[in-house]
Structure 1
Amino acid sequence: MFNFTDINQDYLEKLVDFLYSIAWMYKVLNTQYVKENVLDENRQFLSLLEHIDLNDFVNATEPQNHHPLELQKLIENVNYFRINFDIINTESWKCNNQQKRMSPKKLYEIENMSKLINEICKDDVTTLVDLGSGLGYLDEYLHTNYGYKIIGLEGSAKNQEQAVKRQEKYYAESIGKVKHVHHFITMDSGDFILNEVDDVNKVEELSEKLSNSSTSDIKPPKVALFGLHPCGDLSIVCIKLFLNIDRVKKLIFSPCCYHKMSGKDTDYTEFNYYPLSQTVKELESKYPTNPFLRPFLRLAGQQSPIKFKEMTEIEHFVHGKNMFERGVVEAILMDNETSKRINNTTFSEGRLKFEDIKVKYQLLDKSTSAPKQWTDEHEEKFNKIRNLHPKGEEMSENLFCLQTAVQNSCENLVIMDRIFYIYEQMKILNLNLKVSIKKLQNEKLSPRCLILIVEKS
């Protein structure tokens, strides 16, 4: 395990090598692994988990002697690449439903994110800008508890309208101090943001009142950008806006949904913002093939292994069956066919059967979306897969278990790519930056629990 402050290029190089060596675990989406023969080609390794407690394996803090050597080596590598982030202690947290109609997860994240934002901003920031503010829950909490003026920018007009209605109904006293704005945030949003900040602070009105003073004495308010789970490209936009707007002094956000980043092509063989840093670009370019594609980014954003601690053997079987089913459906489709899950259908007991697929999925023409009928040819393809993988449910869950075990390593590469980009830009732009990452304590309640913090001095 490494401390965050000890991460260097050598760590990244070794991490990339390790992830490349296990690329078969994540090289295709989990709807395609049956079609792409991942189970068949890696049957021997997957079978190593046949008599292993999956819960024990994915949460192992060190290699276990009773595990096969290959699994011991995998756990050894996973634990080697773990990063010791600063933990935000939330043991005393209680579900205080101050906000309306929120789940315990949302309340937990909002309460603790607000505390962190205030801790970082209280000394020199008066105005906050929420990038991707949704219905405005976090904005209202921050204003109510800490008094900040806030601009909430939201790309969905529907969400922004609902945020305004909520504000008028529940938090009318914040009108004029918390402003919900419909705006699709891009790299060019800097001027728009500063105009909104000045508007909520009424800088021009203040200047008129102080006409007897020199306007040069009136300093515009310092600004912090924040975001709770900005998806895809938005987290990169957060970073670039922060770096390029002088008045923005703090950046606090928790990234998620890495796989939703935009691609340079429709097949997502390259992404616009991954890898982001020149360091990781060079490390990944040395390989003849690139496995760090959308399935990898999806795994990096998958929830941590913490929930495995409580899964029963039956729950593992059901999960594996569900995963196997989706993979088999994709594998038996003919050219120009797709399928749609029929609502309100449930699993039959026992192993997956062709009748389950016929009941649960509507076959469709891919070009016209017209309904089609499952045929004997589909059933024949199903039977071949079923005979090849009589324990496909267990093998699928074993694959998912391996993916879950290495999820942390995958996310570390994505996070460190962004950190190294910030360091690279710090030199180019001649900035003095402090970079840190905090981690919420309760991973079970908040699976996307890493918070990136960057401060200008």
Structure 2
Amino acid sequence: MTSKIENVKSNLEMSLKVIRMYDWLLDLYVLDFFVDDHWNKLPSTWRKTFEHMDPQELGHILSNRPTNQLLPLSFLALIKTIEALTILRGRQNQNINKKVTTTNLDSCKNHPKLKNLFLKHVKLKKRHEISLMADVVVGTALQSNCNSVIDFGSGLGHLVRVLAYRDDLYAAGIECQGQLTEEARKLDLQLEYTVKKHLSAEAVSKLRRPLHLNMTLSNHDQLRNLPLPDCMHNYGLIGLHPCGDLGPLLLKHFINSENIKFICVVGCCFMKLSCDGENQGYPMSRYVKSLDSKLSYPSREIACHAIEVYCERLCKGNYEDLKIHAYRAALERILVDHDPKLKHAPVRSIKHSDTMTFEKYCLQALERINVPLPTSPAVLRRGYEDLAQWRRVVVVYTLRLALAPLVETVVLLDRVLYVLEHGISCEIRPVFDPKLSPRNHIIIAKRL
């Protein structure tokens, strides 16, 4: 474990050094492109290279596809460094120790008529995540000799429903929205109604209905005093994309509770992490706290974007709708020139359309804040001159996005190191397809 800790520390230290070198790029807001002259913040060699480069070619470069472009050495060094330090995002072959599959058809798992039982009311992305998350949880529970799990932020209970009815685990879901908790219970009853049509009375009597609890979690005392049945005295913690500080809260509770045998958690919404105070969500580990580890809100926000999907769009040439970023940035300059207090005003989001004029965009965007659009020819002329630079806006946004996986790596490895510092085995796996589920890493820790 010592060598693993040192490797994680080394990766974190180098990653943060790179981030410090490019804070100026990560901290840019796209809507300030013209107000703050983002283009001229780029190194001169980068400007010369990307000025006339088709965004499609930039997509190829960031996707490690062959290119005939002559690139600045500083840019090549950055891309290769990011590639070397970033946690792998592509799905790996998963060697998960699952329970031996039986041929008993008198069960939710094997009856042919119940094959799609757990897919009802579940969208494609969620189906993908639930299926793979359940496999990881079941395998980890088996390794931990534990047959109970608690899912935090369980929503409609789709995951605990699979783990309870299909995989025979004692399962409980914790959800802060009372309406979702009630709907989860109704879905349980609907499932049981269907199951009774196909399974024997004996099999139905053995079904493990999940427990659904409605509560908002904010501290360890609430977690310690959960109203759980005796059969769930020892359990595993699971969290499928808990928002902001909830992921770190679960990890802290796992560390401080001997009766929790394992944890499987997938982070999300890094921009909502608290980064100061006693119970901060980042940084968590002692080591990262000792470094210059600041991650700004813009850097944590862009770390949640889908780089694979974005690069794929660039590679296919589907980037015309990205002009909308230039529309917004051009409007921002007009607003700030009109009244500096209007900087970052909450204008209405508008989808790009090839037939949309700049005037029409501005009128629709400003409806919400009731600010009249300046109509002087000089103002509109400048707006159209800004729009002509839309490819520059796409380039700067893309360069920021290239750094996003490195920021995510720092957040996730900080959590892994926090667990390792407490002497507990911990690993991180890219389990989901990043094109379907961009936050695709599961942190898995077990008490052995």
TM-score, length of structure 1 as denominator length = 0.79
In 2, distance between residues paired with 1:335 and 1:104? Answer: 44
Inter-CA distance 88–36: structure 2 relative to 1 (3 Å threshold): same
Deviation per CA, 1:34-84, whole angstroms, max 9, x where unpaired?
433323432743452332502211111799773333332222211221335
Report the equivalent of 1:107. 127
Inter-CA distance 196–400: structure 2 relative to 1 (3 Å threshold): same
Inter-CA distance 294–311: structure 2 relative to 1 (3 Å threshold): same
Deviation per CA, 1:177-218, whole angstroms, max 9, x where unpaired?
30111011222222233x3243xx3xxxxxxxxxxxxxxxxx
SS state at 1:186 partner? coil
Instruction: Pick the structure with more strand per residue.
Output: 1
Report the equivalent of 1:214. none
Report the equivalent of 1:373. 372
Map 1:421-440; keep pairs closer than 5 Å: 421-424=418-421, 426=422, 432-440=423-431
Q: Which has the higher mean CA deviation after the structures are superposed, 307-316 or 12-21? A: 307-316
Q: CA deviation at 1:415?
A: 1.0
Report the equivalent of 2:331. 329
Report the equivalent of 2:353. 347
In 2, distance between residues paired with 1:228 and 1:280? Answer: 25
In 2, distance between residues paired with 1:322 and 1:86? Answer: 30
**Given the alignment of the two structures, is residue 192 of structure 1 paired with residue 262 of structure 2, yes or no?**
no
Q: How many residues align?
A: 405
**Given the alignment of the two structures, is residue 183 of structure 1 paired with residue 215 of structure 2, yes or no?**
yes
Q: Give the root-mean-square deviation of aligned CA atoms.
A: 3.2
Q: Which has the higher mean CA deviation after the structures are superposed, 109-118 or 437-446? A: 437-446
In 1, distance between residues paired with 2:116 and 2:30? Answer: 38
Report the equivalent of 2:152. 131
In 2, distance between residues paired with 1:37 and 1:417? Answer: 34
8 Å contact kept, 1:128–1:223: yes
Inter-CA distance 230–70: structure 2 relative to 1 (3 Å threshold): same
Q: Name the amino acid aligned to 1:178.
A: P
8 Å contact kept, 1:328–1:385: yes
8 Å contact kept, 2:168–2:208: no
Report the equivalent of 1:213. none
Report the equivalent of 2:175. 154
| 5+ long unaligned stretches in structure 1 | 202-219, 365-370, 427-431
Report the equivalent of 1:409. 406
8 Å contact kept, 2:285–2:414: yes
8 Å contact kept, 2:263–2:446: yes
Inter-CA distance 4–26: structure 2 relative to 1 (3 Å threshold): farther
Inter-CA distance 103–186: structure 2 relative to 1 (3 Å threshold): same
Map 1:57-456; keep pairs closer than 5 Å: 57-60=61-64, 66-84=70-88, 87-89=91-93, 98-123=118-143, 124-171=145-192, 177-187=209-219, 188-193=221-226, 195-198=227-230, 201=231, 221-262=233-274, 272-284=280-292, 292-311=295-314, 314-319=317-322, 321-333=323-335, 334-337=339-342, 338-341=345-348, 347-349=353-355, 353-362=358-367, 364=369, 371-376=370-375, 383-384=381-382, 386-387=384-385, 389=386, 391-424=388-421, 426=422, 432-440=423-431, 442-456=433-447
SS state at 2:281 partner? coil
Report the equivalent of 1:211. none
In 1, distance between residues paired with 2:66 and 2:234? Answer: 46
Q: CA deviation at 1:281?
A: 2.6
Q: Name the amino acid aligned to 2:225.
A: F
In 2, distance between residues paired with 1:148 and 1:386? Answer: 61
* Percentage identity across paired residues of the two chains: 20
Inter-CA distance 63–413: structure 2 relative to 1 (3 Å threshold): farther
In 2, distance between residues paired with 1:39 and 1:271? Answer: 38
SS state at 1:399 partner? helix
Q: CA deviation at 1:119?
A: 0.5
8 Å contact kept, 1:257–1:301: yes
Q: Name the amino acid aligned to 2:172.
A: I
Q: CA deviation at 1:346?
A: 5.1
8 Å contact kept, 2:427–2:444: yes
Q: Name the amino acid aligned to 1:303.
A: A
TM-score, length of structure 2 as denominator length = 0.80
SS state at 2:265 partner? strand
Q: Name the amino acid aligned to 1:72.
A: L
Q: Name the amino acid aligned to 2:438.
A: P
Inter-CA distance 450–444: structure 2 relative to 1 (3 Å threshold): same
Q: Name the amino acid aligned to 1:358.
A: L
In 1, distance between residues paired with 2:394 and 2:69? Answer: 22
Report the equivalent of 1:216. none
In 1, distance between residues paired with 2:83 and 2:360? Answer: 43
Q: CA deviation at 1:147?
A: 0.5
In 2, distance between residues paired with 1:10 and 1:176? Answer: 45
8 Å contact kept, 2:432–2:441: no
Q: Name the amino acid aligned to 1:300.
A: A
SS state at 1:7 partner? helix
In 2, distance between residues paired with 1:97 and 1:57? Answer: 43
Inter-CA distance 154–356: structure 2 relative to 1 (3 Å threshold): same
SS state at 1:404 partner? helix
Inter-CA distance 410–61: structure 2 relative to 1 (3 Å threshold): farther
Report the equivalent of 1:54. 58
Q: CA deviation at 1:242?
A: 0.6
Q: CA deviation at 1:96?
A: 5.5
Q: Name the amino acid aligned to 1:357.
A: C
Inter-CA distance 141–30: structure 2 relative to 1 (3 Å threshold): farther
8 Å contact kept, 2:172–2:213: yes
Q: Name the amino acid aligned to 1:416.
A: L
